[in-house]
Copies of this chain bind each other. A is one copy, B any other.
Amino acid sequence: MNSYQEAQLDALGDSTRRAIVNQLLTGPMPVGKLAERFPISRPAISQHLRVLKEAGLVLDEASGTRRLYGLNPRAFASLREYFDEFWNQALAAFKSTVEGPQPGEEE
């Protein structure tokens, strides 16, 4: 029900950002190191990281001239709960269909 998931799902709607997140699964990483593993430029990675950060999916920490980015476990716990709840409701909606579909209900 929360509106946080809106931004999170928007952020995960891009395959490059999902790849970044997967890369961070091995542990925090500075921007440059991260960009080396992708065929796109470092600023592009930086922009993606901003989106992920605004969505709360990643956390950043300055470390000298570098900046480490890592996953935010709480965000993924939140998403898990979201789909847990969603699955329950979807199942209920589905079952009510099988038992008695009322397609032509008026507004």
The answer to whether B90 and A25 have CB atoms under 8 Å apart is yes
**Residues from 58 to 104 in A contacting B, C-beta threshold 8 Å:** 63, 66, 68, 70-73, 76-77, 79-80, 83-84, 86-87, 89-91, 93-94, 96-97, 101-103
Q: List 9 A-B contacts (CB under 8 A).
A: A9-B18, A12-B12, A13-B13, A24-B93, A27-B102, A28-B103, A76-B87, A80-B86, A80-B87
Residues of A in contact (CB 8 Å), total 43
Produce 1/0 per residue, A34-61, CB < 8 A to B: 0010000000000000000000000000
- Pick the residue among B14, B96, B107 that contacts A36 (CB under 8 A): B107
- Copies of this chain, complex-wide, total 2
CA distance A83 to B96 in the complex (A): 27
CA distance A86 to B18 in the complex (A): 12
The answer to whether A12 and B15 have CB atoms under 8 Å apart is no
The answer to whether A73 and B94 have CB atoms under 8 Å apart is yes
A2 contacts chain B at the CB level, 8 A cutoff: no
